[in-house]
Amino acid sequence: MTKVLFSVPIKDHQLMEFKNKFPQVEFIVDKDDSDESLLDLADIWVTYGFQMKKGRIERTKNLKWIMTYGAGVDKLPAEEIINKDILVTNVSGIHRHAMAEQVFAYMLAHARKSSEFNRQQIQGEWDRDIKPLSLYGKTIGIIGVGAIGQEIARKAKAFDMTVLGVRRSGKNVEFVDEMYSMEGLSKLLEKSDYIVMILPLTSETRYILDRAAFEKMKEGSYFVNIARGEVVDTEALLWALKEKKISGAGLDVFEEEPLPKDHPLRYMDNVIITPHIAGIFPGYLSRANKIFLHNLDAYLNNNGEMINIVNMEMGY
């Protein structure tokens, strides 16, 4: 009998849906992933894939497939997975609306001076000399135009923005006015008023935004990172913020998480910090379950093709 281990907080009624649809499968639930021995029993592991201990996959006996309920796979032990020829799938795409909204939350807060006006409200002031900006007519550069990047581009058009994009293939997509391959990243940095980082973390993208990249950015541009902290050189980002090379940043991800209480980014007036929540939205687990239901049906019953298969060699 195929055994599926859930290390995600699946609800009872959701588990019952799986059991009714797949009576030939034994479902094991360990919501907080506290019993490592259960993984030895599993053929399929459903997990968020965060902070996985080295050697854990290597020691498994039956594991054939990891279904991660996140999009990034950079926390998974790629070498162990590749060596054991384990299939990996994710839920890439379900976050696109929420993450695009988060990007515009940062950008609108910056443009419309929300922090300044909030301070006024708290202090009982009324100062109309603070002049809000507008996204209208500005240029947004999206670094990594996948499902999330395309949704950001679509929403940017509602604000009458010019959209630039970077993707590996350089192939254009709808809502992007100019698309570059990775070799054209410098052009995007030089032209963009708002720069949004949404590349996956791989060996090629680690610290892709270094001091040289920030030096190329348009004076006074605004930077958003909803990808991974490690795609940005934090010291270079701090330099750009302190020297006013960029006007500010909206940051959801960091090299070190949780971000230390004494980290200098916490004390910068031109930075908005959120605790890696850009992809969270009501009904997240239900949306992730739909992808797993589809893939489990395809895997067990040859009913259609599996979706969201990850190439662990590439890292996405």
User: Is residue 276 annotated as a catalytic residue, yes or no?
Assistant: yes
- Catalytic residue among 154, 206, 263, 276, which? 276
| Rounded Cα distance, 44 and 63, in Å | 6
User: Is residue 228 annotated as a catalytic residue, yes or no?
Assistant: yes
User: Is residue 110 annotated as a catalytic residue, yes or no?
Assistant: no
Total count of residues recorded for the chain: 316
Q: Is 36 exposed, middle or buried (0-12, 13-18, 19+ CB in 10 A)?
A: exposed
Nearest to 106 by CA among 129, 72, 140, 131: 140
The strand pairing partners of 165, in sequence order, are: 142, 179
| Rounded Cα distance, 69 and 285, in Å | 8
- Catalytic residue among 79, 235, 243, 257, which? 257
Within a 10 A sphere around the Cβ of 268, how many other Cβ atoms?
15
- Catalytic residue among 228, 256, 266, 313, which? 228
Nearest to 45 by CA among 65, 22, 28: 65
How far lies 1's CA from each of 23, 76, 198, 311, in Å? 10, 26, 40, 27
User: Which sequence positions are flagged as catalytic?
Assistant: 228, 257, 276
